Amino acid sequence: MPTTLTVVTPSYNQARYLDETLRSVISQRDQVHEYFVLDGGSTDGSRQLIERYADDIDFWVSEKDKGQSDAIHRGFARATGDVLCWLNSDDVFLPGVLRTVLDAFDRHPEWDALTAYHIQHDAEGRVLKTYRIPRDGDDIARWGVVHVCQQTCFFRRRVYEAVGGLNLDLHCVMDTDLWLRMFRHGTRWGHLPQYLAAFRQHAAAKNSSWLTKYREEFEYIFRTYPEYFAPTLKHKLGLNLYRLSQIVSGRQALAMLDTRRMRGKKLTDVFGDWVVPEPAGVH
């Protein structure tokens, strides 16, 4: 049977970006087994945006929750797809990539998770930087190299359940914590050498506005997973070898060329727009 995919979008007061997020999934709805949108009771018009696309969303809710981790957790608890991912309400999938992801899992039943290249763009949707990041995995992480990009990370539901799901006490690094438990579990990671998704850098993003909370939660990560983050000679050597491999492989140079070619351009001008049927009630 072909691999099936469940996508979850957690959201709270991100109406400025939410429309693009929704369209980036719904334009590929034929590849998505289930799409769930869990909004934390936004007051900025997000609910109205979600309602516009309700016919293409399998389940949605707009009500107070306990934060992003809680929303993702509740979405995954409903999931029946073979593979899971979440896409935050200010990030996007690139057009047509979900078919590539599903084909990869079909071709590689041994893969438990996969990652790929990714892009950083700004509040206006203009490309800032491109990243050609290689394969992840426990064997690499134990040398101090952990670079999983959440926006390009897809994983089998059975693995998510086996490691206990998200840690609901974490609000900034719950993704890193999940990947590290997957590493410890012995998951097998695949990789797609192409751009799959873009994360948005803007002033209201968690990684900009939650700096104190990030520091506190990363301290927890460092204490809990010393095999990946302890300041050992092995880890320092591993990071330097990784940097060298990026140069020798050409990935760093190609990413720099991609950045030079794309920087300042709208993401949609480079990769195309997300074509979706006009929402019900729009004329």
Residue 250 exposed, middle or buried by CB count within 10 Å (0-12, 13-18, 19+): exposed
Put simply, whether the predicted model's pTM sits higher than 0.85 gets the answer yes
- Rounded to a whole number of angstroms, the distance between the first and last alpha carbons of the chain is 39
How many Cα atoms occupy the beta-carbon half-sphere of 274 within 13 Å?
A: 20
Q: In 3D, which of 195, 200, 153 has the Cα closest to residue 19? A: 200
Question: What average pLDDT does this structure show over 273-282?
Answer: 72
pLDDT score for 279 = 57
Predicted confidence (pLDDT) at residue 283 exceeds the cutoff of 50: no
* Residue showing tokens 């998510």: 160
- Write the pLDDT tens digit of every residue in 40-98: 999 999 999 999 999 999 999 999 988 899 999 999 999 999 999 999 999 999 999 99
Distance separating alpha carbons of residues 3 and 22, to the nearest angstrom: 22
- Write the pLDDT tens digit of every residue in 236-261: 999 999 999 999 999 999 999 999 99
How many Cα atoms occupy the beta-carbon half-sphere of 256 within 13 Å?
A: 6
3-state SS, residue 42: coil
Question: What average pLDDT does this structure show over 265-279?
Answer: 89
Question: What's the CA angle centered on 56, arms 103 and 59, to 5 degrees?
Answer: 95
DSSP states along 150-185: GGG-EEEHHHHHHTTS--TT-SSSHHHHHHHHHHHH
At residue 143, φ and ψ (nearest 5 deg) are -100, 10
- For the chain, how big is the Rg over CA atoms in Å? 18
Predicted confidence (pLDDT) at residue 157 exceeds the cutoff of 70: yes
Predicted confidence (pLDDT) at residue 207 exceeds the cutoff of 90: no
Question: What average pLDDT does this structure show over 2-16?
Answer: 96
* Residue showing tokens 């809710």: 61
Tell me the C-alpha to C-alpha distance, in Å, between residue 122 and each of 86, 199, 200, 250: 20, 8, 5, 26
Predicted confidence (pLDDT) at residue 278 exceeds the cutoff of 80: no
* Residue showing tokens 């696309």: 53
Q: At what angle do helices 251-262 and 233-249 cross, to 10 degrees?
A: 60
**Domain 5-271, what architecture?**
Alpha-Beta Complex (3.90)
**Where do the structural domains in the chain lie, given as residue ranges?**
5-271
Other CB atoms closer than 10 Å to residue 245's CB: what's the count? 13
Q: Helices then strands (H, E): number in the chain? A: 13, 9
Percent with pLDDT over 90 in the chain? 90
- Write the pLDDT tens digit of every residue in 114-128: 999 999 999 999 999
In this structure, what token pair is assigned to residue 194?
A: 């192409």
